[in-house]
Structure 1
Amino acid sequence: MSIWWSLHLRRDAASVPLARRFLLGAMETAGVDPEISFDLSVALSEACANAVEHGGDRRVQREQSVGRDPWDVWDEPAGTACGQYRVTAYLDGEKCRIEVADSGPGFPARRMLRTSAQQHDPQLYPSLSAEDGRGLCLIEQLADHVHFGNRPGRGALVSFDKVLKWRKGALLMVS
């Protein structure tokens, strides 16, 4: 058995704990080990905070959205969904994948996935006095696989996954 859900959220700080609580509730109900749930919820919080802060720097083009379904923001032209972002989670068998998509300018060209050998190189991380930039590094440390990508003309996508551990008698436990 597997489950997935998707939330379309406003780019507002109040949406971050909402997404986190939704994930934690789903994972608890499914029977995921609490430590794994906590790691994924912290990674999700960081990805959502990034979408809230950076995910809508483009100007809204209202004239392009006339006659469109207001809930179908992900098929709109670039920039029309700047007040929202999307969180999708998949719990399937032994893995959970989470995706956070926004409609901002995307990641700079220099941002790429680090190899496992590079993840421990302190020169690749923000300095201790930096005011931002640690969230993406934290996601890399908490998840098993991470991808930071750009959707050309449509924004950024952060996806990460983690192998799940289950409590005894879990609803979705791998047989």
Structure 2
Amino acid sequence: MTGSSPVQLIRPKRFGDTRGWFTEVYSVPAFSALGIDCTFLQDNHSLSVPAFTLRGLHFQTPPRGQDKLVRCVRGAIFDVAVDIRKGSPTYGKWIGAELSAENGHQLFIPIGFAHGFLTLEDNCEVTYKCSDIYAPDSDGGIRWDDLAVGIDWPMPARTIPELSAKDAVQPLLADFDSPFPYDGRPLAPLA
């Protein structure tokens, strides 16, 4: 799908009645129709107890890169992808969307993008599919607050998010030598 944005916001349809609702969150034919043809090998599930917990910005380097399909199953998060593909005209640019249990939206983040999220409520649970298993030797990240990237995290002024020790000391984008090639698809606004 040359020309389409590599990061995609997926809005699964919900079918409801007096009992509640039903939705199909993943289907190979439906995702193939969107140009998403990866095979997912691992599912992850996280719980973040305090609001304004920030996880990211993470990625795995080749040959263990990971496409991710992220959704929030309890609470609400602001989910972000940062283009880290060498030679991309949108290198260092970011895109974000609110994912919540209420809206049911998902964000597809392909290899070549750093991923992170900020919880907007207490007790948020996030699940995501990955196209490769966790590989500690390929684990990487960049700073969540890198001014060169300039993510506008939706949190009150002077709030310091809850961070892991690892995320507090990730390198700046300027100190990162990207191994990810540009595939000809610049980052575009979410449709």
Instruction: Judge same fold: TM > 0.5, yes or no.
Output: no
Higher relative contact order (CA 8 A, sep 6+): 2
Q: Highest Rg: 1 or 2?
A: 1
TM-score by length of 1: 0.28
The structure carrying a bigger strand percent of its residues is 2
